[in-house]
Amino acid sequence: MATKGSQVIRDWPEESREATQLVIDEFGEPDEATESFVVWHKRGPWKRIVASKAHHLHNFPRPHPDVVESVIDYRVPPDKLTAIVQFDGSVVVNRTTGEASARCHDLQANSLALDLMHDIVTGTKTWQEARAYYAKEVLDYRRKLPTPYMDGLRFKPDGPAAADPDIRILSDEELERARQAGEARVG
């Protein structure tokens, strides 16, 4: 019998349990649950949501635990990666799978981070402007002012075509010659 996420998280640290419970409240029980992770597939705009027992301190823009990761299909041009890392270390890009994710304390903060990542990719904001806007929107949330970037993704994720398996540079012939050379040295 499958274990429900609500049962799994009972023994998790408070920070992880509280953040994960917010996702359960919004999307119901996860599709997968282990001792260390719970996972939802294709909920809302997300390809995948992963909440973990382990949480990591993240000080930007204020100290909070990073627990919940929201994943989308999104192709990031390689020349934009440095700016994204400078913007927020909890935004992760996997070029090969064509995925981008944000890991924070809730889904709204993940929307904010990914919306700003998109602004960096499209040239709407620099990484410095994105950091400043992120801080402004967090303060606006506390002031009970509108927070459009936290209300959900402001763009449509790319879909599976975002994957970039890269370009082959070694031919089968080169690999076979290298294998034969290695066997000759050993033999």
**Residue-level pLDDT at 160:** 86
76-98 pLDDT, tens digit per residue, is: 999 999 999 999 999 999 999 99
pLDDT band of residue 186 (cuts 50, 70, 90) is confident
pLDDT band of residue 185 (cuts 50, 70, 90) is confident
Inform me whether the pLDDT recorded for 39 exceeds 60: yes
Inform me whether the pLDDT recorded for 1 exceeds 50: no
98-149 pLDDT, tens digit per residue, is: 999 999 999 999 999 999 999 999 999 999 999 999 999 999 999 999 999 9
Q: What is the pTM of this model?
A: 0.92
Total domains in the fold of the chain: 1
Inform me whether the pLDDT recorded for 157 exceeds 70: yes
Domain span at 156: 5-186
Mean of all residue pLDDT scores within the chain:
96
| DSSP symbols for the chain | -PPPHHHHGGGS-HHHHHHHHHHHHHH-S-SEE-SSEEEEEEETTEEEEEEEEEEEEE-SSS-EEEEEEEEEE----GGGHHHHHHH-TTEEEETTTTEEEEEESSHHHHHHHHHHHHHHHHTSS-HHHHHHHHHHHHHHHHTT---TTTSS-SS----GGG-------S-HHHHHHHHHHHHHHH-
